Amino acid sequence: MTAAARAAIAGAQRIVVKVGSSSISGKHAWRIDAIVEAIAAAHGRGTEVVLVSSGAIATALPFLNLEGRPDDLATQQASAAVGQNVLMWRYQTSLDRFGILAGQVLLTAGDLDNPTHRSNARRAMARLLGLKILPIVNENDTVATHEIRFGDNDRLAALVAQLVGADALILLSDIESLYTRPPDEPGAAPIDMVEFGDDLHGFQFGSVVVNSVGTGGAATKVSAARLAAQAGIGVLVTSADLVDAALRGEHIGTWFAPNPTPTPTALTGPVPVDR
């Protein structure tokens, strides 16, 4: 069953892919090309992809001569303004190889809480997909405040997956799968599949990680995966280095099975079809 669930990703109509700051910034910026190549291949198979990409603040650090992620909100906002521009340029430069155009979508938590803003975001992304444009979504860090943030882009990706009616969500990490405890500890074992409703309290996913480039970690991915699964969206958590294999439906990573009887919410309302 788990193999068949993953295999269905290859033929999915619409997928959301999320990548974190540490995977595409600094010395790892080369992964942007690999991610774009995998998305272009998925496009060629007829799959619509929405990319949720962190990395604006991290990308700006060397340009602003900052050694690490700034602590104060104003500098974070300024860094995001600079870094988002560079980040989109890097994506578009890579996408040019395949004749694919990117469209930037910046959201705040308030946008998804506000019915009008939420409807506009849903309609805009549907139109972008209908035009064969790759929506690249990020939190609008330039205007967001500590009080109204999504918390991390894993959660944002889970909400966007609901918003656009995605068939699956792929959360890219630094390791191939989730483990029962931190993978560098004795006794850690990879988790192949999490059935909907499984009790995960015996596992040690750690806390949210705040490092020199961003926030995240296994705990946020588990939380986001369960949020999307609750809404009926299957979720694959795997390494950014395996993005092509993930989009091809290979048996990798940790699969979160979707709720077989999801309850509709404001985010899972009618999705415009524009093809």
The pLDDT value given to residue 213: 45
Q: Is 85 annotated as a binding residue?
A: no
Q: Is 111 annotated as a binding residue?
A: no
d(CA 123, CA 239): 31
Asked, for residue 268, whether it belongs to a domain, the answer is no
Q: Per-residue pLDDT tens for 53-79?
A: 999 999 999 999 998 888 888 898 899
Which of 91-95, 132-136, 155-159, 268-272 comes out lowest in average pLDDT?
268-272
Asked, for residue 65, whether it belongs to a domain, the answer is yes
Asked, for residue 269, whether it belongs to a domain, the answer is no
Kindly give, in sequence order, each residue whose CB lies less than 8 Å from that of residue 129, ignoring residues fewer than 6 positions away.
14, 48, 50, 135, 164, 274
Question: How many distinct structural domains can be found in the chain?
Answer: 1
Q: Residue 137 is encoded by which pair of tokens?
A: 């979504």
pLDDT grade for 269, boundaries at 50, 70 and 90: low
Q: Is 192 annotated as a binding residue?
A: no
Asked, for residue 10, whether it belongs to a domain, the answer is yes
Q: Is 153 annotated as a binding residue?
A: yes
Q: Is the four-CA dihedral 74, 52, 226, 37 of positive or negative sign?
A: negative
- Mean pLDDT on 188-195: 91
- Mean pLDDT on 103-115: 91
Q: Residue 59 is encoded by which pair of tokens?
A: 């990308």
Q: What is the mean pLDDT of the chain?
A: 88
- pTM of the predicted protein model: 0.91
Q: Is 274 annotated as a binding residue?
A: no
C-alpha to C-alpha distances, 234 to 35, 156, 170, 227, nearest whole angstrom: 20, 16, 9, 10
- Say whether pLDDT at 210 is over 50: no
- Mean pLDDT on 13-29: 94
Q: Residue 18 is encoded by which pair of tokens?
A: 């999320």
Asked, for residue 191, whether it belongs to a domain, the answer is yes
d(CA 236, CA 224): 11
Asked, for residue 262, whether it belongs to a domain, the answer is no
Helix 115-130 with 153-163: angle, nearest 10 deg = 80
Structural domain boundaries, residue 233? 2-256
Q: CATH code at 196?
A: 3.40.1160.10
Q: Is 18 annotated as a binding residue?
A: yes
Asked, for residue 45, whether it belongs to a domain, the answer is yes
Asked, for residue 173, whether it belongs to a domain, the answer is yes
